[in-house]
């Protein structure tokens, strides 16, 4: 093997390795959304905490992602399906006579935030760590605000949504991600960035 040939071979292997690393980095970015600076929590969460202080006065914890076993996935599917099928959509104006109110849909009616709160509560009651269940604010294609539950796992960040029967990886949805709860403190919210090549736009029906 000549010296020039060896150099060409090494150079070619280097390019292939760099491409593989870049591809893996891109794949990892699509599994986990990027978080930014602290931002203001939604007024709905602030008012919810005033009405449900026991749900919000919690000590900070270390960030924790769930190991996504078959049983864990089954739990997610079961809870998402049950809540979506047993809560009837109703706007806050119809339900409470106000524009915005976050509450548990214990009477069987609620809007997107209420679905999220119930799914979060049911999963925590089943032993899931609070730090992996993050209320998330997104925007739809029409500009309307919407709320979903982000579940952080070792296999990526999955979205539980009252507008979608299937549980999807965050990067498989068509939402623009705005902000969500911090893993360490549910009362601290952080802005979100979108590493997808082109920011997707939502085509889901309004809640």
- pLDDT at res. 7: 42
179-206 per-position pLDDT tens digit: 999 999 999 999 998 877 654 444 333 3
- Based on the fold, state whether residues 82 and 142 are members of the same structural domain: yes
pLDDT, averaged across the chain: 86
- Based on the fold, state whether residues 75 and 110 are members of the same structural domain: yes
Residue with tokens 């093997």: 1
149-163 per-position pLDDT tens digit: 999 999 999 999 999
Residue with tokens 């749900």: 55
User: In the sheet where 176-181 sits, what is the strand order?
Assistant: 34-39, 189-193, 176-181, 133-139, 145-153, 156-161, 164-169
- Based on the fold, state whether residues 135 and 174 are members of the same structural domain: yes
Q: Domain limits at 64?
A: 35-193
- Based on the fold, state whether residues 127 and 27 are members of the same structural domain: no
Q: How many domains does the chain have?
A: 2
pLDDT interval class at 50 (50, 70, 90): very high
Which CATH number characterizes residue 143's domain? 3.10.620.30
- Based on the fold, state whether residues 26 and 91 are members of the same structural domain: no
- pLDDT at res. 188: 97
Candidates 13, 42, 35; CA nearest to 147 is 42
Whether residue 109 contacts residue 88, with contact meaning beta carbons closer than 8 Å, is answered with yes
């Amino acid at each position: 093997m000549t010296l020039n040939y060896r150099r060409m071979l090494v150079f070619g292997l280097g390019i292939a390795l760099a491409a593989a690393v870049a591809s893996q980095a891109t794949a990892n970015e699509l599994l986990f959304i990027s978080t930014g600076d602290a931002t203001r929590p939604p007024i709905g969460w602030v008012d919810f905490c005033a009405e449900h202080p026991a749900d919000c006065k919690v000590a900070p914890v270390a960030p924790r992602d769930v190991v996504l076993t078959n049983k864990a996935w089954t739990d997610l599917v079961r809870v998402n399906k049950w809540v979506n099928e047993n809560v009837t959509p109703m706007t806050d104006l119809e339900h409470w006579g106000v524009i915005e109110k976050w509450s548990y849909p214990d009477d069987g009616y609620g809007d997107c935030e209420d679905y999220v709160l119930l799914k979060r509560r049911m999963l925590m009651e089943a032993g899931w760590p609070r730090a992996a269940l993050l209320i998330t604010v997104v925007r739809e294609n029409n500009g309307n605000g919407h709320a979903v539950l982000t579940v952080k796992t070792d296999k990526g960040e999955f979205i539980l949504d009252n507008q979608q029967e299937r549980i999807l990886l965050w990067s498989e949805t068509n939402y623009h991600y705005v902000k969500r709860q911090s893993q360490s403190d549910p009362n601290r919210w952080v802005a979100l960035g979108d590493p997808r090549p082109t920011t997707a736009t939502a085509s889901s029906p309004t809640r």
